Amino acid sequence: MRKNIVAGNWKMNTTLQEGIQLANDVNEALKGVDAKCDVVICVPFTHLASVNAVIDPEKLGLGAENCADHLKGAYTGEVSAPMVASTGAKYVILGHSERRQYYGETSETLKEKVKLALAEGLTPIFCIGEVLEERENGTYNDVVKAQIEEALFDLSADDFKKIVLAYEPVWAIGTGKTATDEQAQDMHAHIRSTIAGKYGKEVADEISILYGGSCKPGNAKGLFAQPDIDGGLIGGAALDAESFMGIVTAF
């Protein structure tokens, strides 16, 4: 059966020293807890190797927040999937709405990133979600379906099963405005039926679908109680070990 996962997305926050401290704090806090979910922190590239050295990989997974759409070569400033994997990271967030919005990432580039990540044995945490206008004009189900189809539906069923999805309504990210339990559940069920339509129910039932967007200790329980919500991708609340643990223990 599919896994429950709580993953932190630190975004462009913390210096290296602050990041090591935060990773240490989360790692320590997990020692006293029988977590009912896999716990992951996705951190800036510069922090990966150092954070990997201080965490217990049995209790805490490590991920990057992006990777390049090329394997290697003359792409100044980019970080490849093999580079990420060589730090000890096991996950990589791909297609975050901030990458789509500010760095022009398209389904075409994301398709390449997903393939390169999978080839390195990394688990992509693939983000999808509509903007406010699409929520309000009622096209959100079609938008999210298209995001999945365009970037992921040329994968084999075996490869598709290696992906974790994160539904993050853009209007809820960093705004303090969470989707209601019902809005989130409806979308997660829609995502699962979209997957079932292509790969069959068995594959769809195996995929972990996380919710992201102003998820906090106070609302995580209600969200995680929904049948199609398998955890969270956590931004702001992941920057403090106590609030992150408040979400981890919501399972």
Could you please report the per-residue DSSP string of 36-99?
SSEEEEE--GGGHHHHHHHS-TTT-EEEES---SSSSSS-TT---HHHHHHTT--EEEES-HHH
Least Å from the CB of residue 25 to ligand PGA: 18
**Min CB(125)–ligand PGA separation in Å:** 9
Cβ nearer to ligand PGA, comparing 19 with 235: 235
Instruction: Between 174 and 197, name the residue whose CB sits nearer to ligand PGA.
Output: 174
Taking the complex as a whole, the smallest distance from the CB of residue 200 to ligand PGA amounts, in Å, to 29
Applying CB under 6 A, which residues contact ligand PGA?
9, 168, 173-174, 212-215, 233-237
Among positive and negative, which fits the CA dihedral 220, 222, 225, 229? negative
What distance in Å separates the CA atoms of residue 191 and residue 222, rounded to the nearest whole number? 19
Q: 231 or 235, CB closer to ligand PGA? A: 235
- Asked if 129 and 170 count as a contact pair (C-beta separation under 8 A), the reply is yes
Provide the token pair at 135: 């929520």
Rounded to whole angstroms, the Cα distance separating 43 from 26 reads 13
Rounded to a whole number of angstroms, the minimum distance from the CB of residue 166 to ligand PGA is 7
| Alpha carbon distance 69, 104 (integer Å) | 13
List C-alpha distances in Å: 161 to 118, 166, 182, 183: 11, 14, 26, 25
Catalytically active residues, by annotation? 96, 168
The residue with tokens 């309504």 is 169
In the bound complex, which residue of the shown chain has the CB atom lying closest to ligand PGA?
A: 235
- List residues bridging with 41 in a β-sheet: 8, 62
Q: Which is nearer to ligand PGA, 195 or 232 (CB)?
A: 232
Shortest Å, Cβ 36 to ligand PGA: 20
Residues 158-175 as b or e (16 or more Cβ within 10 Å = b)? eebbbbbbbbbbbbbbee
Comparison of 20 and 220: residue with beta carbon closer to ligand PGA: 220
